[in-house]
Structure 1
Amino acid sequence: MKIVGLITEYNPFHNGHLYHIKTAKKLTDADYVVVVMSGNFLQRGTPAIIDKYSRTRMALASGADLVIELPCAYSTSSAEFFASGSVALLSQMGCIDYLCFGSECGDTEILKKIAFILADEPLTFKELLKKYLKEGLSFPIGRKKALLDYMADTTMTKEELEPILSEPNNILAIEYIKALIKQNSKIIPLAIKRVVSGYHDSLIKDKICSATAIRTAFQTSGLNSFREQVPSYVFDILSEAYNRTFPIYPNDFSSLLKYRLLLQNSKPFQAYWDVSESLANTITRMLSQFKNYEDFANLLKSKQYTFTRINRSLIHILLNLEADTIHQFIEHNYALYIRILGFRKSSTPLLTAIKANSGIPIISKLADAKNHLTQLGLLMLEQDILASDIYNTIVIDKFDFSIPNEFQQQIVIFE
């Protein structure tokens, strides 16, 4: 039995994701596809446009055999921790053979060379990085410049390296491989070249386009604007959910975020994951100018902090994700349980293999979780339940549509 793992968000699922699943399965000759998917909050520090169970249905209908939830502690984190948490989940299953991921360059070997440098952190590279950070550059830009200086003319020229180190899917791919290295995982990485569109492309140009382009098209022109860019069954799921549970946007959380920020006296902002002392001071100083979620994030943006970093910091405050707690998760090897969101009925041999080889508990019923998890594992699960409760509160408030809570929600089973 061969099993390939994918790390995803599906916000929403589109033709490019379908291509990814089919190509990963073909290249690896895999019998089963396991998807690790972000829950209701994503790596850019934003809510998913549609809930995790709807996106699970999309994935299973598209050929995935099992969908596992990536805890919000990692799904809302930087590329490094997003990748580390995802890779740990796949590795702990004990039976995943390959990790397939999209990248702009599609060159697994060059991505591995870069990942080994970041994993080993040679002294010269560390000194270069320290120099650029002292100049006030953000961490992503400082690290890119340090890598360019360190690798130039030994591996590739700066002109060849620069685009590889600038593209978002290449950056994530490098973090996936770095996580595999640092966790001493036996999973084999395999890059698939991204086709047609870029991650940040905001315009629909072909039948395969970015999720960003689909969300932009929807906001400006409605559902029918991207009918050809998603599989028909995905379009049906989105149509069925329209004005019931979809769409959800960051500004829908404005009042809740403002309330959380006004509680600053109960806990300093820097206690939350990704919030530095200087950013905490800026939040306090700018709080009186808060109008809505996105406007406030733009107010906080600076040379030191990217818009995505700001969004992640705000979402961590909203979801009560404290830095000390997440550091404990990391110290305990990231993955504390495997939570199933959905599976195909035909995937029984896959589930049997995971149960036989998994190094951590498998959660299919929340009511049974306390019997299988450590105190730290229960804390991680409670964070995910809170995140879902907050997301569902916004859905109910926006659409006046009743939805089941996490204890009532059934696992998605695809016939």
Structure 2
Amino acid sequence: MKIVGLITEYNPFHNGHLHHIREAKRITGADAAIVIMSGDYVQRGVPAFMPKRLRTEMALKCGASAVFELPVCYATGSAEYFAMGAVSLLDSLGIVDAVCFGSECNDLDALSHVADILTREPDDYRSLLKKSLKKGASFPTARHEAMLEYTRVPAYAALLDDPNNILGIEYLKSLKRLDSRMVPFTIQREGAHYHDQALSPGHLSSASAIRSLLAYSGSSLRTDPAGGTFENTSFENILSELEDQVPSCCLELLEDFHRVQYPVYQNDLSLILKYKLLNKTPGSLVRYQDVSEELANRICAQLDNYMNYKQFAELLKTREITQTRINRALLHIMLGLKKSEVAEYMNNGFHFYARLLGYRKDSAKLISRVAKESPLPLLAKLSESGELPAIGQKMLRNDILASNLYMSVVTDKYKTAFLNEYRQGILKV
């Protein structure tokens, strides 16, 4: 049996994701697709729009064979950390033959060439990168300029301008560094652009556009302004607009759990973040992942101007630091993710367990294979975590705290019963 691995967020699941699953199986000849998915927080440094188990159910009903959770320290990291965390977890499962990712360019050779340069970091390239950074450019801009000047090929530098290309390059770098046996494949990202806020005339809209439309739900509980160009409309009309954009089984879940488990926004965590920041000094803030000394000082200097999470994150933005980097830094402060801990995880094998969120009943044999062939303990129940090494228990505590915090927000916002992470079972579809 051939197995392809997919690295995802499904925030939320839509037709483009369904196309990815089907096309990944087709071009790799795989019989099954194992998914590594972010938990309750995503890579751009914000809470997921809906809980991880709801997104897991969508994925399983749409053809994923099994879904494993990417630990929060990687799920909320930069592209490099996100990719290394996800690829190393797929590799450690012991049964995955290929990795398939979407890209804007659909050119594996070009992506691999750029990945090789960024992995080797030749002296000339490194000098060009430092030169751009010293001029005050943000890291993404500096890297683009350095790649252009180093290769003299505009097409290579242009690959670093699109989000899926960037992640694809990082996946390829991770495969090289791990000397993984998994074979990479890429497919063309079709339909809307990653950041598009309006629904596509076709049936392949971006997750951003779908989230924006769902924000127009007439809910008095909305804590984030809708960012698209939609008319204010009823939730029934919103679902009608989404009929061609998401699989029918996902549409049913969107309807059943609206204002029960989702939507969740950055601003729903405003008071929690402010409480954390009020207890910090610049010296203590620099301990957290993605927090520089400059940013730590800026956070403390601007704290009196804090109104809500999103407003404060935007207030902190400068020419040298991207909005996504600031979002991640604030999220890491709130979740207590320290640089020293993440470095410890990465220096000691990346993973210490494989956390299973759910699987299809017809794929039960896959789970048995992972249990037998993976060097990682298969973690299906948190009650079994006592056998993990101390470092693994520390990583798991981070994951549990992050999820319990997220569900506490859901509980408070929608007045639903709180389900502690220890009481959450494996989803079987």
Amino acid at match of 1:210: S
Residue of structure 2 equivalent to 1:121: 121
**What's the TM-score once normalised by structure 2's chain length?**
0.93
Amino acid at match of 1:407: Y
1:269 to 270, 281, 285: 285
Amino acid at match of 1:200: H
Instruction: Give the distance between the partners of 1:357 and 1:332, measured in 2 at CA.
Output: 20
2:325 to 306, 309, 317: 309
Is residue 406 of structure 1 aligned with residue 402 of structure 2? Answer: no
Tell me the percent identity: 44
Q: List aligned pairs for 1:80-159, cutoff 5 A.
A: 80-152=80-152, 157-158=153-154
2:256 to 232, 236, 240: 240
Structure 2 residue ranges without an equivalent (≥5):
217-232
1:356 to 356, 363, 372: 372
Q: List aligned pairs for 1:170-249, cutoff 5 A.
A: 170-205=165-200, 206-220=202-216, 221=233, 222=235, 223-224=238-239, 225-249=241-265
Q: Is the 8 A contact 2:282 2:297 kept in 1?
A: no
Amino acid at match of 1:409: Q
Amino acid at match of 2:38: S
The Cα shift of 1:348 comes to: 2.3
Residue of structure 2 equivalent to 1:298: 314
Residue of structure 2 equivalent to 1:259: 275
Residue of structure 2 equivalent to 1:388: 403
The Cα shift of 1:356 comes to: 2.2
- Aligned pair count reads 408
Between stretches 67-76 and 325-334, larger displacement belongs to 325-334
Instruction: Give the distance between the partners of 1:84 and 1:219, measured in 2 at CA.
Output: 32
Is residue 343 of structure 1 aligned with residue 359 of structure 2? Answer: yes
RMSD: 1.2
SS of the counterpart of 2:100?
Answer: strand
Instruction: Give the distance between the partners of 1:411 and 1:56, measured in 2 at CA.
Output: 10
Residue of structure 2 equivalent to 1:164: 159
Q: Any idea what the Cα deviations from partners look like across 1:161-190, whole Å, max 9, x if unmatched? A: 343220000000000000000111111110
The Cα shift of 1:266 comes to: 10
Between stretches 55-64 and 222-231, larger displacement belongs to 222-231
Instruction: Give the distance between the partners of 1:337 and 1:308, measured in 2 at CA.
Output: 28
Between stretches 403-412 and 30-39, larger displacement belongs to 403-412
Amino acid at match of 2:415: D
Instruction: Give the distance between the partners of 2:352 and 2:142, measured in 1 at CA.
Output: 32
**What's the TM-score once normalised by structure 1's chain length?**
0.96
Residue of structure 1 equivalent to 2:13: 13
Q: Is the 8 A contact 1:243 1:399 kept in 2?
A: yes
Residue of structure 1 equivalent to 2:49: 49
Instruction: Give the distance between the partners of 1:90 and 1:149, measured in 2 at CA.
Output: 35
Q: Is the 8 A contact 1:218 1:226 kept in 2?
A: no
Amino acid at match of 1:25: K
SS of the counterpart of 1:271?
Answer: coil
Structure 1 residue ranges without an equivalent (≥5):
none
The Cα shift of 1:267 comes to: 6.7
Q: List aligned pairs for 1:367-386, cutoff 5 A.
A: 367-371=383-387, 373-386=388-401
The Cα shift of 1:332 comes to: 1.1
SS of the counterpart of 1:268?
Answer: helix
Instruction: Give the distance between the partners of 1:15 and 1:190, measured in 2 at CA.
Output: 20
Instruction: Give the distance between the partners of 1:251 and 1:103, measured in 2 at CA.
Output: 31
Amino acid at match of 1:270: V
